[in-house]
Chain A
Amino acid sequence: MGFALKNILRRRLRTALTLCGVALGITAFVALVGFSRSFEQEWLKIYEGSGTDLVVVRGTFLNTSLDASLGAQLRSLPEVADAVPNVMNIMDLTPEINAVIYGWLDDSFDLDAIVILSGRRFRGEAAEIMLGEVLAESLSKKTGDTVEIQGTPFEVVAVFRGRSAIETGGAVMPLRQLQRLSDLGDKVTSFRVRVRSRGASQPAPEEVRRARLRIEADFPGLRAVPAGDMARNHQVVVLARATAWGTSAIALFIGALGIANTMAMSVFERTREIGVLRALGWRCGRIMRLILLEAAMLGCAGGVLGIAGGWLALHSLASIRATANIAQSSIPVGEALQAIILAIGIGLAAGFLPAYRGARLSPVEALRHE
């Protein structure tokens, strides 16, 4: 271990630059994956905050649309306490600002879960809109103002604080209005279902499971997804997670190339020393382990720096207004461990070829190396 550390510290500038490469990769991983995790948690809050147990959608991969009339049939099931339609879309409110818009009925239980800071709920199907407080601030709108969407003026009837940052950065309008703006006719995106509980206020998991099976049996082609799964597998969340991992993978690959280059250079410069070690009886395996240990140490140190960098990045995001409500500066222990293991793994993978080449050097050839 000490020998490996001394070898790494021999070329301090090169080691520092290599560490920067790995650290940047891990920083990207920690920050992006952490941000997508926070994003996922915000989606979960939307469902959990309103007491949604199941979300009924069509069993398709991308866009899902259901007849609004399905709501009555769902509510008639003995396992279902309530089922409310929901339309969700992302719309341009100004050339610079777009936001998630929800279309709900005026008696939807979803409305009970948001806190109205000023104004009142929308009524019926009127051209009214409720703005989340972050969106209202971005648009510089308050109760009584008007927001024009696709040529239709909507009166701002309330400013609210939602269950999650996504809602607080979005808006809610009558279901019919959003259906019209989205050309959905009488279709809705999903139904949010509260399962009937026979005992406690919260339905037991078995009751939720039974309701799910009942809905899927009675309505072929539909899926009743538990709220937690829906949050995790929401298209936007999946896309955010995939983007986070994809971007991190590119950054990590660049970091790995840095380690591979450093180790290859290090082995080349130490060719004669490796020859000496072979002459002194060191086996190929020990030489290989030494070089791999150095690569793993570089990876580990880069990982620790990267976690610090990721924490700083998340901390910065948490202090920026636009992302403050979503980003969390804390990094779960599991995620930090994952980052360290990933960094060590990258070090080992990147160091393997140089280590193999170093270990396979002929002692005599290595001793002759200038």
Chain B
Amino acid sequence: MSEWVLETRALTKYYDDGRIQALRGVDLQVREGEFVAVRGPSGSGKSTLLHLLGGLDSPTGGEVRFRGQILAHPFDVDLYRSRCVGFVFQAFHLLPTLTALENVQIPMMETRASASERRSRAEALLAEMGLDGRLHQYPAQLSAGERQRVAVARSLANNPEILLADEPTGNLDTENSLKILDLLAAIQARRNTTMIVVTHEEEVARRARRCITFRDGRICESFVPERS
């Protein structure tokens, strides 16, 4: 078995018939339990990398490997997204017609968990996020920080090995940003989850084990941040 949980080789992604080159030959290896912060200016390819690592999109060239297996046919990418990866988005992306409890159960519907198992697991996750009093609230009834905590709970629903977060604090104020960052760091430490966070925040970079900087679709810098 590969020593890397995630690995990319000469990964490229072009849009608009090659006129937009979002990724230009990215080689990246991520170990199990590693916390990687990905930084860079807007349009540098950070989110594209995250989408390819999460199996949301397919590369133009090169490959993404999960534990040595290429994320392409015959590999079951849907299963990979459902069981191995959890996503946290900047815009939360909670379903507005569902309560917090129901939103957290959404990823579990692709598993064989019974309705009562789904419910009790969702309750436990929301309690872990400090939202045990907000189970039956709809997203519109929650604050931005609470919504992102529901989204984090949802990303953990199937106990994934990898957590991919795209600007998770981008829509939050400083206080809530710090809370979410503390939460993600705690989850990573407690569960030994491999975590890749795309961010502009220095705070994230400071908590990460490794920091990667993107520019023009390439990794231009990779370093271990100093602990304060």
* Chain B CB within 8 A of A207 CB: no
Contact-residue size bin, chain A (C-beta under 8 Å from the other chain): 20 to 34
Contact with A along B36-47 (1 / 0, CB 8 A): 000000000000
* Chain A CB within 8 A of B124 CB: no
| A6 adjacent to B87 (CB under 8 Å) | no
Residue among B56, B82, B158 with the most chain A CB within 10 A?
Answer: B56
| B51 adjacent to A364 (CB under 8 Å) | yes
Which A residues are in CB contact (< 8 Å) with B97?
Answer: 3, 6-7, 10
* Chain B CB within 8 A of A362 CB: yes
Query: Which residues in window 81-115 of B have CB below 8 A to A?
Result: 81-83, 85, 87, 89, 93, 95, 97-98, 102, 106-107, 109-110
| B82 adjacent to A280 (CB under 8 Å) | yes
In Å, the complex CA distance between A283 and B79 comes to 8
Which A residues are in CB contact (< 8 Å) with B158?
Answer: 281
9 shortest interchain CB distances as A-B pairs = A281-B82, A6-B97, A281-B81, A280-B107, A363-B56, A364-B57, A276-B93, A283-B78, A281-B110
* Chain B CB within 8 A of A301 CB: no
Known: A286-B109, A367-B93. 11 other contacts (CB 8 A): A6-B97, A272-B93, A273-B93, A278-B81, A280-B87, A281-B79, A281-B82, A282-B78, A284-B78, A286-B110, A363-B56
Which A residues are in CB contact (< 8 Å) with B57?
Answer: 362-364
Question: Contacts A3-B98, A276-B93, A364-B51: A283 and B56 contacting too (C-beta < 8 A)?
Answer: no
* Chain B CB within 8 A of A342 CB: no
| B107 adjacent to A281 (CB under 8 Å) | yes
* Chain B CB within 8 A of A312 CB: no
| B109 adjacent to A282 (CB under 8 Å) | yes
Q: How many residues of chain B have a CB within 8 Å of chain A?
A: 23
| A283 adjacent to B93 (CB under 8 Å) | no
* Chain A CB within 8 A of B147 CB: no
| 16 A-B pairs with C-beta separation under 8 A | A3-B97, A3-B102, A7-B97, A272-B93, A273-B93, A276-B93, A276-B95, A279-B81, A279-B87, A279-B93, A281-B158, A282-B106, A282-B109, A282-B110, A363-B57, A364-B57
User: Would you give the shortest CB distance from A291 to chain B, in whole angstroms?
Assistant: 14
User: Would you give the shortest CB distance from A298 to chain B, in whole angstroms?
Assistant: 16
In Å, the complex CA distance between A2 and B110 comes to 16
Question: Contacts A7-B97, A286-B109, A364-B51: A279 and B78 contacting too (C-beta < 8 A)?
Answer: no
Residue on A nearest B81 in the bound complex, by CB: A281
User: Would you give the shortest CB distance from B136 to chain A, in whole angstroms?
Assistant: 13
Query: Which residues in window 266-314 of A have CB below 8 A to B?
Result: 272-273, 276-284, 286
Contact with A along B65-82 (1 / 0, CB 8 A): 000000000000011011
Contact with B along A248-280 (1 / 0, CB 8 A): 000000000000000000000000110011111
Question: Contacts A280-B106, A281-B79, A281-B81: A6 and B98 contacting too (C-beta < 8 A)?
Answer: yes
Residue on B nearest A282 in the bound complex, by CB: B110
Residue on B nearest A272 in the bound complex, by CB: B93
Which B residues are in CB contact (< 8 Å) with A10?
Answer: 97
Query: Which residues in window 347-366 of A have CB below 8 A to B?
Result: 362-364
| B56 adjacent to A367 (CB under 8 Å) | yes
* Chain A CB within 8 A of B154 CB: yes
* Chain A CB within 8 A of B54 CB: yes
Which B residues are in CB contact (< 8 Å) with A7?
Answer: 97
In Å, the complex CA distance between A279 and B56 comes to 6
Which B residues are in CB contact (< 8 Å) with A363?
Answer: 51, 56-57
User: Would you give the shortest CB distance from B46 to chain A, in whole angstroms?
Assistant: 14
In Å, the complex CA distance between A367 and B81 comes to 15
User: Would you give the shortest CB distance from B101 to chain A, in whole angstroms?
Assistant: 12
Which A residues are in CB contact (< 8 Å) with B87?
Answer: 279-280
User: Would you give the shortest CB distance from A303 to chain B, in whole angstroms?
Assistant: 24
User: Would you give the shortest CB distance from A267 to chain B, in whole angstroms?
Assistant: 15
User: Would you give the shortest CB distance from A360 to chain B, in whole angstroms?
Assistant: 13
| A281 adjacent to B154 (CB under 8 Å) | no
In Å, the complex CA distance between A280 and B102 comes to 14
Which B residues are in CB contact (< 8 Å) with A367?
Answer: 56, 89, 93
In Å, the complex CA distance between A286 and B110 comes to 8
Which B residues are in CB contact (< 8 Å) with A276?
Answer: 89, 93, 95
Which A residues are in CB contact (< 8 Å) with B107?
Answer: 280-281
Which A residues are in CB contact (< 8 Å) with B83?
Answer: 281
| B154 adjacent to A364 (CB under 8 Å) | no
Query: Which residues in window 3-21 of A have CB below 8 A to B?
Result: 3, 6-7, 10
Query: Which residues in window 136-170 of B have CB below 8 A to A?
Result: 154, 158
In Å, the complex CA distance between A320 and B79 comes to 63
In Å, the complex CA distance between A286 and B108 comes to 13
